[in-house]
Structure 1
Amino acid sequence: MLARLALLSLSLPFLLVAAGSGSLFTSSVTYCQPPTELLVQQFDVSYFQVNNSISFDIVAQSVGSNISVSASILFNVYGITPVNVTIDLCSLLGGALCPLPQYTFNGSQSLALPAALGVSNRVPAIAFRIPDLEAFAQLTLVDVHTGEVQACVQATLSNGWSTRQIGVEWATGAVALFTLLVAAWQSTKPHAILPYRLLDLLHFYQTIAASALLSLNYPLLYRAFAANFAWAMGLIASPNNSRLQHAIDTMRALTGGHLANSSSASAVGLIDRKISPWNTNIVTASSPLTQSLLADPSASATNSTPTNLLLAFGALQQLSSVDEVQTVTDDSSNVLQAGIPIYVNSIHIATANAFMTIFIVGLVVVAIALGIAGLFYGSLYAMDRFGWGKEHTRSELKSSYPAYIRAWALRLGLIGLFPIMIFVFNQWSLKDSWLSTLLSVLALLAILAVVLYPVYRTLRLARRESPDALEFNLEHLATHGPLYAQYRTQRYYYFLPLLVAAFVKAVAIAAGQGHGMAQVVVLLVVELALVAAHILLKPYHSRGGDVFSTYLAIVRLVCTGCMIAFVESIGVGAIARVAVGAVIAVIFSIAVIVLIINIFLHAGVNRLWRRNNQDARAPSRQGSADASTLEKGITPHRFSATADNTSATRYSTSASILSHTDRDTNK
């Protein structure tokens, strides 16, 4: 009976967020004080506005003897406390709850709430539609004789709407895969655009994910939005009871690990109570405001279960039972702090498991890449062995294969550099498993070797000879072109500011945990410097490239600047922070859409609607092409059928290089 009344009492806060059709349900349950008199093993409760009813499933037990308590109920939504009442349990059910009975309650119930509460007139309907609702209810049992708190339970509430959607993750991943496939085909030409757009796309995904790793008081809405792009960092969201996370937990335990393991339970219950979704300090008792809302037992409970309630309850996706209700207080060691801990735990990856997750995902990616490279090499060997295809084609493919593979190894290194630096530096700060630390050192050295060696070769060639040598040295261009080929010859070094910026941001994110303001300031300075560099240096071959890259840099700068509102010490209200978080999410989303459109245009989609116009101008097409070639200062040549194809390819590549060189000189 105590458990039933406790649930009915907890249902009261649900009323204040119910004003339209919809439902609310428990997303996490924690003790806000070490349990002594009331133990909760499972607590799933749902409210349905359509008929002002609640349904619940609970396993609870009263273990104290001769305890008479009052129930204090507090409800907090976005930092506002519209309900803080105390109910005298001894006045209910003829005093059957004084003292509390000692037995375990295990079951479910549907209850119709009293109309006297006036639910529909008190709360806006937006509470059922706003994604990632920030609300919690708290039940505190206080001894009526001593005034001591005997039990305290907190439950976060959700309406089922969230900015984190599995469809978004699959869609962004599908775009990245499409870009990868087309880029792999186009990358045979060193100046093809799409291989660089692949880097832009994944780096932008990583920027969005990394923006939620700072020690800031993010609204729940923005944390959920940024989690859509966690996969681009190598943080693959783990399902419940993930074998991968369990294996990492075991490895850490055997190698000196002492930090908390991964959990399949919701991480929101363990978030620091000062930040979203709690937006308050832990409350251990309600104010002495007494109301007799439940004085009439007949008005508060019924055994009837409406058909539409059963249908709605069956359709609602319920959370799994809580394996263990955690105790979270100001002094608890299990509280998740803002930054990396909250972000990774929200996708069921323990803080100490983050690097190892990225490391294993990286190994899988490398294994797949090596498998594809080996398959391609085997195909070339079979073609040469059995004489498939034309001889000059086989010779050309065989000679260009090593440079092609090395160029893609460099691209993979550039993609993985930023997340690996962040979580390697973070791993060093944890001082956990010695094996994880050792592997983090090896991973950092490996990826630095993949990236920095081409950087060294490129800078040395440009210094010893001239920047033009970077374009005329065809072997170097084919191998190390991913670093500089998209920039004008005079701005070949522009990859250096980008690499330095990635390093500084990684250090600020990993080493600056716990110092949100400092992190935002450092990132803001870096992004401002990059915008200035784009505007002043104009590094790209075309004005369109400069405009596009500058736009992305400005988006990063604006969104980073907006995050000042999330600095905890500034104290911006919860509702205002949610509004700012929504604005940032919209700005980032628009930029992603612009990126995707640009990618599809460079993938050749624009040719579909140009084809008809080109066919109409077919007689003049050759003349236009020759005129364009002559305008670039290149004399057109025709090769006979017996000409060496390799020489033709070299001439074609040299002509393309001369074209870019002349264009740079004109600028």
Structure 2
Amino acid sequence: MLSSLSKWSLLALCATAPLAAAERIITSSSLNPCQENSDFSATLFNVAFTPNNRSLGFTVEAVSQIEGRIDAEFELFVYGYPAMKQNLKPCDNEELRGLCDMIPGKIDLSSNIDIPPDVMSAIPGVAYTIPDLDAVVRIQIKRIGTQEVIACVEAELSNGHSVDQKAVAWVTAIIAVTGLIASAITSGLGHTNTAAHVAANAMSLFGYFQGQALFGMVSVPLPPVVAAWTQNFQWSMGIIRVGFLQELATWYQRATGGTPTTYLSTLNRASVDVQKVKRSIDLDTLYKLTRRSNGDFGVEDERVVLHGIERVAFRAGIEPTNIFMTGYIFFLIFLLAVTLGVVIFKFVCEGLVKAGKMKHDQFLDFRNGWRVVLKGIMYRVILITFPLMMVLCFWELMVRDSPGEVVLAVFTMLTMIGILGWGSSKVIRIAQRSIAMHKNPAYILYSDPAALNKWGFLYVQFKAAAYYFIVPLLAYTLIKSMFVGLAQEKAVVQAIALVLIEAALLIGISVMRPYMDKKTNGFNIAIAAFNFLSAVFILVFSNVFGQPKIVTGVMGVVFFIYNAVFALVLLLMVLVSSGFALFTKNPDTRYQPMRDDRGSFIKSQTQLTTELDALGATARGEGKGTHARIEDEDDSYSSSSLEQRQMAAKEGAYTEHYQPAPPRTPVDGYGGDHYNSHQAAPTAPVSYYDRNSPAPSYGRTAEPPYRSGNNASPWQRGAGYDH
């Protein structure tokens, strides 16, 4: 059964393999110990086999404590399956006779030998093209006579093909950013419903990419295809190599009292093992073997094993001591680029309007209040980069690359937590005030433009009754980041914690369904379910269950396949929704109105055709020029300036229906003066206009019929207050 599974997994990977290669090659760059107290260890090991000319070139620098005649046994494992086993018998083989009688000391070997044709024919062709080949050669050295195993070494093989492709990283990054840009443009054009949906899906997609990157950062030994797949998403965590930025990070570390590593510049002198799947040695033992002193010969073993975050950095071509500064610099670049983009867009819009190339009412809200919009966008950038900065800051507290970087990590971590914590508390206070005054959290959350543009990124993706759900999401991100950043030396602890954290989020979203509609809830529930499944796979990879090696190999292939398919589906969904948002005349027709009636409260609704819309206009102060202020006056562009009132009048917000006569509010006893006073709602019974009756005409003396006290209010329907 297991053999059949391994064949199917090989076939599945073949489907993704390149059809042709310029030159077939199999290489190995590290020789790793596979038992404790091994008497043979390599500080440098490079082997390259090219089948086109049947040559095997190798360079080995090793230290041996073995003395006497030995025997050697060769084993080949492919995806954990024992494909070949052979006794080398060096004492009976002319080519290996030099290894028969071993003497203690340092060994330096460098040669190029020809491989016989019969050996070439035994190697399957698929071995040269399958991506992220999971093949390991193990050699056990035994004493002749007693057959005691005195040394064990392994070499991991690679054919140069991988699912870790720059094209994949670029495509995923472009589509995710396109979704965010599409939502911003759509919002500026007045399609708030579409903008909210596209932004929610783009943010969820970005979160999924960061989740995949975090799975690659755990210290659990990962199958090669899993490590390669998750590497495609490390851009979302700021792990991107740029040459001059690496020099800047190294300079800053040295200037602040740190000592940078030189793994990448000493690959020709030292062996660096990018940790993969455990074979026959536990993780703690592996760490003990990474830098072992051979006291008998005065030689220090320079072999280094990189795991977790260091493994990710090394694969990206970044020194481990530059990880934090690399992510931090890209956070600053992202924040600066977004800020400049918003400012440039503001002046471009103004220039086009003055030149007559753009209508005067296009992006009107953005142009009038771009400073508040900019603050909201900067806060959104902080939310997007919150996972990556938390992981890297916690990691920096553990490794302490330099005192300056530690101080920077603490300051950044406290600042980001403080900003998002303050924003979340602000949203909760606004919503609670709205409930107290109007029995509906959406009333003020969406009627005040300053609050919506500044803090809306924290709640627009949720239904009004779940305005607080950003707090559990931030707690989820913070706790997950703590385990990934702080528990790098405890792989099993990390794996168990991730399973529990992802399970908690999946249960919470599935039960509460906090997002704005069924489609958005389904989108996020699916992401949470796949993240939970991936966490279970990570737990299996930690070898906590002691499963056979082939199970780990097959599960690694399955992990790649189902995540690749799911990521493709998510990318297509976001791409299609972004396309509809940008290229259709009225994209709001694709989405049902929100059940919390938020659309009736949002400013700049030019067609007030329902009784609920008219009441929303009163809430915004468009009937009498009054408004309940939530934000400071300098943060709002909804204040009653003459210019903005004239602009609103041109848009049709002030019509002949809104005469100087006192307006009727949806809550009895509340006129404009009471509404501005921020007093709590009265305890007297509340009556409402009947939706089925003719729309009220403000300024007339006739009183419209009132809603029966036994019927649910339209202000309450869909906002979590159904009875």
1:207 corresponds to: 211
| Greater mean alpha carbon deviation, residues 441-450 or residues 431-440 | 441-450
In the TM superposition, what are the counterparts of 1:504-523 in structure 2 within 5 Å?
A: 504-523=479-498
* 2:317 equivalent to 1:342: no
* 2:389 equivalent to 1:420: yes
| Greater mean alpha carbon deviation, residues 559-568 or residues 76-85 | 76-85
* 2:196 equivalent to 1:227: no
Q: CA RMSD in A?
A: 4.9
Residue 391 of structure 2 contacts residue 485 of structure 2 at CA under 8 Å; is this kept in 1? yes
Structure 1 residues 262 and 381: CA distance shift in structure 2, 3 A: farther
1:602 corresponds to: 577
Match of 1:92 among 91, 94, 100: 94
Q: Which amino acid aligns with 2:489?
A: G
1:166-185 Cα distance to aligned partner (Å, 9 max, x none):
22112112212322331231
| Greater mean alpha carbon deviation, residues 80-89 or residues 340-349 | 80-89
Structure 1 residues 119 and 459: CA distance shift in structure 2, 3 A: same
* 2:552 equivalent to 1:577: yes
1:472 corresponds to: 447
Secondary structure (helix, strand or coil) at the match of 2:276 reads coil
2:172 corresponds to: 172
Relative to the length of structure 1, the TM-score reads 0.71
In the TM superposition, what are the counterparts of 1:509-658 in structure 2 within 5 Å?
A: 509-605=484-580, 633-634=612-613, 644-647=646-649, 651=653
How many angstroms does 1:133 deviate by?
A: 2.0
Secondary structure (helix, strand or coil) at the match of 1:357 reads helix
| Greater mean alpha carbon deviation, residues 76-85 or residues 188-197 | 76-85
1:454 corresponds to: 423
1:9 corresponds to: none
Structure 1 residues 186 and 27: CA distance shift in structure 2, 3 A: farther
Structure 1 residues 659 and 575: CA distance shift in structure 2, 3 A: farther
Structure 1 residues 448 and 61: CA distance shift in structure 2, 3 A: closer
Structure 1 residues 521 and 29: CA distance shift in structure 2, 3 A: closer
Residue 72 of structure 1 contacts residue 142 of structure 1 at CA under 8 Å; is this kept in 2? yes
Structure 1 residues 392 and 541: CA distance shift in structure 2, 3 A: closer
1:216 corresponds to: 220
Secondary structure (helix, strand or coil) at the match of 2:216 reads coil
Residue 58 of structure 1 contacts residue 106 of structure 1 at CA under 8 Å; is this kept in 2? yes
Structure 1 residues 90 and 134: CA distance shift in structure 2, 3 A: same
Residue 520 of structure 1 contacts residue 564 of structure 1 at CA under 8 Å; is this kept in 2? yes
Q: Which amino acid aligns with 2:392?
A: F
Secondary structure (helix, strand or coil) at the match of 2:369 reads helix
Residue 80 of structure 2 contacts residue 551 of structure 2 at CA under 8 Å; is this kept in 1? no
In the TM superposition, what are the counterparts of 1:302-341 in structure 2 within 5 Å?
A: 335-336=304-305, 338-341=307-310
2:719 corresponds to: 664
1:197 corresponds to: 201
How many angstroms does 1:438 deviate by?
A: 1.5
Q: Which amino acid aligns with 1:527?
A: E
Counterpart CA distance in 2 for 1:73 and 1:413 is: 56
Secondary structure (helix, strand or coil) at the match of 1:74 reads strand
Residue 43 of structure 1 contacts residue 56 of structure 1 at CA under 8 Å; is this kept in 2? no
Structure 1 residues 264 and 662: CA distance shift in structure 2, 3 A: farther
Counterpart CA distance in 2 for 1:146 and 1:545 is: 67
1:136-176 Cα distance to aligned partner (Å, 9 max, x none):
34678999999999999864311233221222112112212
Counterpart CA distance in 2 for 1:506 and 1:434 is: 22
Counterpart CA distance in 1 for 2:608 and 2:31 is: 72
Residue 261 of structure 1 contacts residue 350 of structure 1 at CA under 8 Å; is this kept in 2? yes
Structure 1 residues 387 and 487: CA distance shift in structure 2, 3 A: same
Structure 2, unpaired ranges of 5+: 1-18, 283-288, 295-300, 436-440, 590-606, 623-643, 655-664, 666-712
Residue 383 of structure 2 contacts residue 420 of structure 2 at CA under 8 Å; is this kept in 1? yes
Looking at secondary structure, tell me which structure has more helix per residue.
1
Residue 60 of structure 2 contacts residue 109 of structure 2 at CA under 8 Å; is this kept in 1? yes
How many angstroms does 1:355 deviate by?
A: 1.1
Residue 425 of structure 1 contacts residue 511 of structure 1 at CA under 8 Å; is this kept in 2? yes
Counterpart CA distance in 2 for 1:148 and 1:171 is: 54
Residue 137 of structure 1 contacts residue 155 of structure 1 at CA under 8 Å; is this kept in 2? yes
Structure 1 residues 542 and 344: CA distance shift in structure 2, 3 A: same
Counterpart CA distance in 1 for 2:303 and 2:475 is: 35
Paired positions, count: 569
Secondary structure (helix, strand or coil) at the match of 1:570 reads coil
| Greater mean alpha carbon deviation, residues 513-522 or residues 163-172 | 513-522
1:245 corresponds to: 246
1:364 corresponds to: 333
Counterpart CA distance in 1 for 2:20 and 2:431 is: 67
Match of 2:412 among 443, 448, 461: 443
Q: Which amino acid aligns with 1:589?
A: A
How many angstroms does 1:648 deviate by?
A: 6.5
Structure 1 residues 222 and 438: CA distance shift in structure 2, 3 A: same
Structure 1 residues 375 and 172: CA distance shift in structure 2, 3 A: same
* 2:184 equivalent to 1:184: yes
Structure 1 residues 243 and 225: CA distance shift in structure 2, 3 A: same
Structure 1 residues 604 and 46: CA distance shift in structure 2, 3 A: same
Structure 1 residues 381 and 154: CA distance shift in structure 2, 3 A: same
Structure 1, unpaired ranges of 5+: 1-19, 283-325, 615-627
Structure 1 residues 649 and 249: CA distance shift in structure 2, 3 A: same
How many angstroms does 1:231 deviate by?
A: 0.3
Counterpart CA distance in 2 for 1:21 and 1:406 is: 51
1:498-535 Cα distance to aligned partner (Å, 9 max, x none):
11111111112122223333323332232222222223
Q: Which amino acid aligns with 2:176?
A: A
1:224-244 Cα distance to aligned partner (Å, 9 max, x none):
110010001111146xxx443
| Greater mean alpha carbon deviation, residues 36-45 or residues 471-480 | 36-45
How many angstroms does 1:91 deviate by?
A: 5.9
1:376 corresponds to: 345
Residue 43 of structure 2 contacts residue 302 of structure 2 at CA under 8 Å; is this kept in 1? no
Structure 1 residues 263 and 599: CA distance shift in structure 2, 3 A: same
Counterpart CA distance in 2 for 1:85 and 1:104 is: 24
Q: Which amino acid aligns with 2:373?
A: Y
Relative to the length of structure 2, the TM-score reads 0.66
Q: Which amino acid aligns with 1:664?
A: A
Q: Which amino acid aligns with 2:428?
A: L
Q: Which amino acid aligns with 2:179?
A: T
In the TM superposition, what are the counterparts of 1:1-400 in structure 2 within 5 Å?
A: 23-30=24-31, 43-48=46-51, 54-58=54-58, 72=72, 74-77=74-77, 78-79=79-80, 82-88=84-90, 92=94, 111-115=114-118, 119-120=121-122, 127-137=127-137, 155-188=155-188, 189=190, 190-191=192-193, 192=195, 193-237=197-241, 242-258=243-259, 260-263=261-264, 270-271=272-273, 276-277=276-277, 279-281=279-281, 335-336=304-305, 338-379=307-348, 396-400=365-369
Counterpart CA distance in 1 for 2:417 and 2:651 is: 33
Counterpart CA distance in 1 for 2:585 and 2:340 is: 38
Counterpart CA distance in 1 for 2:381 and 2:528 is: 22
